[in-house]
Amino acid sequence: MEEIYSVFAQESREQLTEMETGLLSMEQGDREAETINGIFRAAHTIKGGAGVVELTQIEKFTHVLENVLDKLRNSEIAVSSDLITALLKACDHLDTLLARVEEGNLEPAEELQGDGDAVAAVLRAFIETEPEAVTGGLTDTQPGEVERDGDNKTMSDCWHISIRFGRDVLKNGMDPLAFLRYLLSLGEIAHITTLTDAMPAADEMDPEACYLGFEINFRSHADKAAIERVFEFCRDECDLHILPPNSRIEDYLHLIETLPEETLRLGEILVRSGALTQEELDQGLRHQRASETLAQKVAESSGEEAPPPPSIGEILVKQQLVQPEIVEAAASKQKQVAEKKVAESRLIRVQADKLDHLIDLVGELVIAGASANLLAQKSGQGALVESTSVLSRLVESIRDSALQLRMVQIGETFNRFHRVVRDMSKEMGKEIDLAISGAETELDKTVVEKIGDPLMHLVRNAMDHGIEAGDVRIGRGKPACGRLELNAYHDSGSIIIEVADDGGGLNREKILSKAVERGIVEPGANLSEQEVVNLIFEPGFSTADKVTNLSGRGVGMDVVKKNIQALRGTVDVTTEEGRGSRFTIRLPLTLAIIDGFLTGVGKSSYVIPLDMVVECIELAGASDARNYLNLRGEVLPFVRLRELFEVPGKQPQRENVVVVQYAGRKAGIVVDQLLGEFQTVIKPLGTLFRNMRGIGGSTILGSGEVALILDVQALVSRCARGEEQLAHEHNAGSRRIEAPSP
């Protein structure tokens, strides 16, 4: 049952996401019938699932929500901002109730009952009259017997439902009677027959198996899709047939042929329930037998098989009731729906910890494969080397496939901010539009889970500090409605996430004065423009003049930077006063396994992420003391790993430069040896080395030795700072030369 509740909560959250997305789309002007129907279906599915697992508090609350959505889709009430707000609050309350289910709290929460009643009261205010109480009920019947409700209404206005539950329904924690109780929320059960024909003898019976079936006459104004959704949770484990009111005798005869019980037995049930008269049944059976006999005689005389009966589409076209194009379009649409259902049925849910364990095992397999490959090369046996080479390729394919299982689209994370932007803009009295691009960009699920909070801080900061109020924007010649952008794309083996706004930008003078005021910067300090801008990431820093519930406490941007650095990423900001700001987050695609380029310095080994390697060249002769070289007319700063990490030993006569690129900047890394590509399983460094610059992790080589993984971003930034310092010194020297003598 715990697993069933967990699945219910997870699937209900997916439905809530669809509801929220649809409601926000409607508020932006979307009035498509499919959008409204999708919202209604989501609420209906949650209600049905809650009824099946007997979570009454969720079921009752969703019933009120469903009533409002039903009137909305029938155009009985109009879309308004107040209505959308009320419906979104209902989604929030459902989210809270689902959180209790995930925590294992299945009993109704008294502390939440008041909140739910308040939200339900607001919802009821949008509908003119309360929905009539659902009538009808279930009556205990003996197997094979029929109970009538005693009314004089004809059965022609009833749906006929035939259902045979699968053997494992009870084992999976579902109660057949719960589905019938939920069916009552849509209408009235006029007649019901309980079938136990499939029940074996007592000594052969499985006490945990289900042998039940029902023949139901159901009076309701709901459509077929709504009735089918009642049995959605057991749809794959039951045999369900639904006939609409006033169905033809042929449809009932076809149903009798389809069901497993004997024809006379089912015919008797249909007659006793009032779905058919005895004359209609006898006449239909005679006509059916005569048609079968005639078709068989024609086939025997011609020596061919009996032709299949014409389809409904062919009949309608022949009678000139519809055009052939309409039938073809309907068939095409039906095929697309069927293909979509097949694709959805191929999806499988896997727990995240199982994927993590799989990645760990693949990592160990990569290390073991590297060790086997090294031993094969040392042996000098050609057949063994070739065999381990094939094994390495297979391991690489397994690695790529396993990592792909963990890749998810960032669009789901982005879409959450539609609601955030809507609520915050209303609270602040600003008009703000959110534009999302690159939602299909994929990255590791672990990164997606941990990037949500930093993005939340950046979005709130952009809305509160960046985008001005409407009257201020108009005074500056801007549209009153501000624009916030979320963008994602891949670049050089990394994923780039951008948060941009068209607000007032960062005021460098205000930032510097606040930093001096808070003691972060010494008065008179000579800082570059970028260094001033980066002060916003200092702990405790804020430019807000007063503390609000959104900002002003100085505990946002430093958290953003720390969380992103914990993911081996970086965050940079560019700003133009009066035009807006752009925060750029650069993250690795995965935190587990990468392709690396193995290098050697002395007896030490270093791995450079292969996606950042541009080329390798030889460092000929003595290099410039300032560590620069001419790369085909381009000035390339470089760093010597021997000097940076103080590697003992004599510098070799021949050195190599690995040219790397990060965030559009190039730099060189000077090493002794180039050892080739290497599958790298990233092992985090201990807490003792967490503040070491230039090292991003470690890995284990096939020989069992440890190699350090270089932090290319830190090395490139080091080279860039050296370049800026050189330019600063050059400019200062020029000023001294030009200054007149006293």
- Residue by residue, what is the 3-state secondary structure of 642-711? HHHCCCCCCCCCCEEEEEEEECCEEEEEEECEEEEEEEEECECCCHHHCCCCCEEEEEECCCCCEEEEEC
Q: What's the pLDDT score for residue 321?
A: 44
* DSSP H or E run through 299: helix 278-302
Question: In which band, very low, low, confident or very high, does the pLDDT at 75 lie, cut at 50, 70 and 90?
Answer: confident
pLDDT tens for 378-410 read: 888 989 989 988 988 898 888 888 888 888 888
Amino acid at site 94:
L
The tens digit of pLDDT for each residue in 76-121 reads: 888 888 899 999 999 999 999 998 888 887 777 777 888 888 888 8
Cα–Cα dist 185/135, whole Å: 9
C-alpha dihedral (367, 370, 374, 377), degrees to nearest 10: 160
174-to-7, 215, 294 alpha-carbon distances in Å: 13, 19, 47
Nearest to 611 by CA among 460, 712, 461: 712
Three-state secondary structure along 443-470? EEHHHHHHHHHHHHHHHHHHHHHHCCCH
pLDDT greater than 60 at residue 547 = no
Q: Among 1, 5, 6, 590, which Cα is nearest to 351's? A: 6
DSSP state of 535: G
**2-124: what CATH class?**
mainly alpha
- Token pair, residue 277, equals 């008269």
Q: What is the pLDDT of residues 117-128, one digit of tens each?
A: 888 888 888 885
Calculate helix-pair angle for 263-273, 278-302, nearest 10 degrees. 140
543 alpha-carbon distance from chain centroid: 35
Task: For CA atoms 250, 252, 255, 261, give the dihedral sign.
Answer: negative
Return the number of other C-beta atoms located less than 10 Å from residue 311's C-beta: 11
More confident residue, 444 or 290: 444
Pick among 3.40.1160.10, 3.40.50.1100, 3.50.50.60, 3.30.565.10: CATH of 408-588: 3.30.565.10
Within 10 A of 587 (CB to CB), how many other CB atoms are there? 24
Q: Per-residue pLDDT tens for 493-537?
A: 678 999 999 998 888 888 888 888 887 888 877 777 888 888 888
Tell me the residue length of the chain: 742
Q: CA–CA separation, 85 vs 418, rounded Å? A: 13
Residue 279's pLDDT band, with cuts at 50, 70 and 90, is low
For position 139, what pLDDT does the model report? 36
Q: What's the pLDDT at 345? A: 46
CATH number for region 593-728 = 2.40.50.180
Q: Identify whether the C-beta of residue 637 lies closer than 8 Å to the C-beta of residue 722.
A: yes
**Max CA distance (Å), the chain:** 126
Specify the pLDDT at position 126: 86
Q: Supply the pLDDT for residue 500.
A: 93
- List b or e across 240-269, with b for residues whose CB sees 16 or more CB atoms inside 10 angstroms: eebbeeebebeebbebbeebebeeeebbbb
In angstroms, the first-to-last Cα distance of the chain is 91
CA distance 72 to 417: 25
Cα dihedral sign, 653-659-662-666: positive
Q: What is the pLDDT of residue 262?
A: 66
Helix pair angle (249-258, 263-273), 10° resolution? 140
Share of the chain above pLDDT 90, in %: 10
What's the whole-model pTM score? Answer: 0.61
Instruction: Write the CA distances from 216 to 158, 281, 629, integer angstroms.
Output: 9, 18, 86
Q: Render pLDDT for 650-685 as a digit per residue (tens, 0 to 9).
A: 888 888 999 998 877 889 999 999 998 887 888 777
